[in-house]
């Protein structure tokens, strides 16, 4: 990549709020590159994969696409994305979990744009009543949940259940916290002690009556606000969700966040977010990569945080007063040092459904953690990595 100004039309596909904010935001880029023109098309989250596949199959593609991190492997599998050019950015400057999740089959196909990670949300007022402090280990989390139930809560902790609620987003971190690594070389390594302890730990909350077997999706926020289930693990957006339901001031006073409790190995938490990729058949690849490079600069990432509250994927962008002055963001920053992304392989999508169903069976006492781990591994071996 040279340093000449970008030129020509650059078309971008983006989703959700990012898609709505980006058209005005890229004015900064076109001022610096007057020969270039950026057109942003907003795409609903639900239609992304279909539109992507149609475009790749027909060969009529835009230049740049925002890639929800979980879509990365499937998009790479189609052959529709171009590898990131040498020297465009320094991958070492990004949050490690995010940088890892852009790499598929040994090659980086995207540049991390913004990140989110999951933290522990708890009712500080109720915890104080029960004489409890934020849990730092698995054992403390169990004791924390028990203490809250002893203090009058119906349950201590909300956990997602099954494929419908994407429970792999908490089970995969449990697995990593116990020292598990999902893929080694070309092999799935899921029938391990780490998986057994992750499933045991997950299942124990249901067996001990500390987590409800259902209702997570429907009543999560309400149960948290009325104190019946005063703890859950989720992403930064939940502050606004709770604020809309209750009252932002009440949330400010009574809701605290903390990094997730550590297992025997670490306290890795699930990392999500979005990357920026360029199509293999992009009509204006040069302009596209220059736009991606501009979006990956510290000042741009800081301005983007001001625009959307999207947390910078670039670690060098975090030295910024608005990011440093907020106690909730401080927790997220601490958590971002220890994250785990889903394996960037196409078959994870299908395998995670099996993991979620097996964990559901463990929670319902239908199978043992050992049996479940063996089933998950067998499914992984049947699927391969999917390349």
Partner 1 sequence: MAVLSPRGRRRQSVGAAHRRKQAIVAWLFALPFVAVFAVFMLGPLLASFAMSFTDFTIRDIRDPFAVNIVGLDNFIGVFSDELFRKSLLNTFYFVLVGIPLTMVLGLALAVALNSGIERFRAVFRVGYYTPVVTSIVAVAVVWRFILQDSGLLNTVLGWFGISGPDWLNDPTWAMPSIIAMAAWRNMGTLMIIFLAGLQAIPSEVYEAAEMDGAGPWRRFTMMTVPLMRPTLLLGAVLLSVGFLQVFEEPFVMTSGGPLNSTLSISYFVYNQFGYGAYSFASAGAYVLFALIAALSAVQFRLLRSKDV
Binding site for partner 1 (CB under 8 A): 49, 53, 56-57, 59, 74, 77-80, 161-164, 213-215, 218, 346-347, 349-350, 353, 357, 360-361, 364, 366, 387
Q: Which is nearer to partner 1, 80 or 235 (CB)?
A: 80
Q: Which residues pair with 64 in a beta bridge?
A: 12, 278
**What residues contact residue 47 under an 8 Å CB cut-off, 6+ apart?**
none
Q: Which is nearer to partner 1, 268 or 358 (CB)?
A: 358
Q: Give the span between the Cα atoms of 130 and 150, in whole angstroms.
A: 8
Q: Which is nearer to partner 1, 110 or 346 (CB)?
A: 346
Q: Which is nearer to partner 1, 78 or 189 (CB)?
A: 78
| Shortest distance in whole angstroms from residue 1 CB to partner 1 | 25
| Burial letters 51-61, b for 16+ CB under 10 A, else e | ebeebbeeeeb
Q: In terms of C-beta density within 10 A (0-12 exposed, 13-18 middle, 19 or more buried), how is residue 93 classed?
A: middle
Q: Which is nearer to partner 1, 19 or 162 (CB)?
A: 162
| Shortest distance in whole angstroms from residue 307 CB to partner 1 | 32
Report residue 354 as tokens: 């099996």
Strands (E), the chain: 8-15, 36-43, 64-68, 103-104, 107-108, 111-117, 119-123, 183-184, 187-188, 231-234, 255-258, 269-278, 311-312, 339-340
Q: Which is nearer to partner 1, 245 or 330 (CB)?
A: 245
Q: Which is nearer to partner 1, 144 or 216 (CB)?
A: 216
Q: Which residues pair with 108 in a beta bridge?
A: 103
| Shortest distance in whole angstroms from residue 349 CB to partner 1 | 5
Report residue 326 as tokens: 């907020």
| Shortest distance in whole angstroms from residue 350 CB to partner 1 | 4
| Shortest distance in whole angstroms from residue 165 CB to partner 1 | 8
| Shortest distance in whole angstroms from residue 105 CB to partner 1 | 11
| Shortest distance in whole angstroms from residue 385 CB to partner 1 | 12
Angle at 169 between CA 143 and CA 13, to 5 degrees: 145
Helix axes 193-207, 369-383, angle to 10 degrees: 130
| Shortest distance in whole angstroms from residue 53 CB to partner 1 | 6
What's CA 198's distance to the chain center, in Å?
19
Q: Which is nearer to partner 1, 80 or 236 (CB)?
A: 80
| Shortest distance in whole angstroms from residue 69 CB to partner 1 | 17
Angle at 50 between CA 238 and CA 112, to 5 degrees: 50
What Å distances lie between residue 364 and 154, 361, 369, CA to CA? 19, 5, 11
Q: Which is nearer to partner 1, 256 or 358 (CB)?
A: 358
Q: What are phi and psi of 256, to 5 degrees?
A: -115, 155
């Amino acid at each position: 990549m040279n340093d000449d100004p970008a030129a020509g039309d650059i078309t971008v596909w983006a989703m959700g709020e990012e898609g709505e904010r980006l058209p005005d935001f890229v004015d900064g880029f076109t001022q610096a590159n007057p020969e270039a023109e950026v057109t942003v098309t907003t795409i609903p989250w639900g239609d992304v994969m279909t539109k992507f596949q149609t475009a790749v199959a027909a060969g009529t593609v835009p230049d740049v696409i925002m890639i929800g991190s979980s879509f990365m492997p499937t998009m790479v599998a189609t052959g529709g994305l171009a590898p990131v050019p040498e020297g465009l950015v320094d991958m070492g400057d990004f949050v490690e979990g995010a940088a890892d999740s852009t790499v598929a089959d040994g090659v980086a196909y995207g540049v991390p744009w913004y990140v989110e990670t999951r933290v522990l949300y708890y009712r500080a007022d109720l915890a104080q009543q029960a004489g409890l402090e934020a849990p730092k280990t698995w054992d403390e989390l169990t004791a924390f949940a028990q203490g809250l139930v002893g203090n009058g809560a119906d349950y201590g902790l909300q956990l997602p259940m099954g494929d419908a609620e994407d429970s792999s987003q908490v089970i995969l971190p449990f697995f990593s916290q116990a020292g598990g690594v999902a893929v080694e070389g070309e092999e799935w390594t899921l029938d391990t002690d780490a998986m057994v302890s992750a499933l045991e730990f997950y299942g124990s909350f249901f067996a001990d009556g500390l987590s409800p077997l259902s209702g997570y999706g429907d009543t999560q926020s309400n149960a948290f606000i009325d104190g019946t289930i005063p703890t859950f693990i989720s992403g930064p957006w939940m502050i606004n969700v709770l604020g809309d339901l209750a009252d932002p001031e009440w949330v400010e006073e009574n809701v605290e966040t903390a990094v997730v409790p550590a297992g025997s190995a670490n306290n890795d938490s699930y990392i999500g977010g979005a990357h920026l990729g360029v199509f293999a058949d992009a009509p204006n690849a040069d302009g596209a990569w220059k736009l991606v490079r501009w979006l990956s600069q510290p000042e741009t990432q800081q301005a983007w945080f001001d625009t959307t509250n999207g947390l910078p994927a670039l670690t060098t962008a975090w030295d910024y007063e608005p990011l440093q002055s907020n106690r909730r963001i401080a927790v997220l920053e601490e958590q971002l040092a220890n994250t785990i992304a889903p394996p960037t392989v196409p078959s994870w999508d299908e395998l995670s459904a099996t993991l979620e169903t097996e964990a559901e069976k463990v929670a319902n006492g239908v199978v043992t953690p050992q049996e479940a781990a063996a089933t998950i591994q067998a499914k992984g071996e049947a699927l391969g990595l999917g390349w």
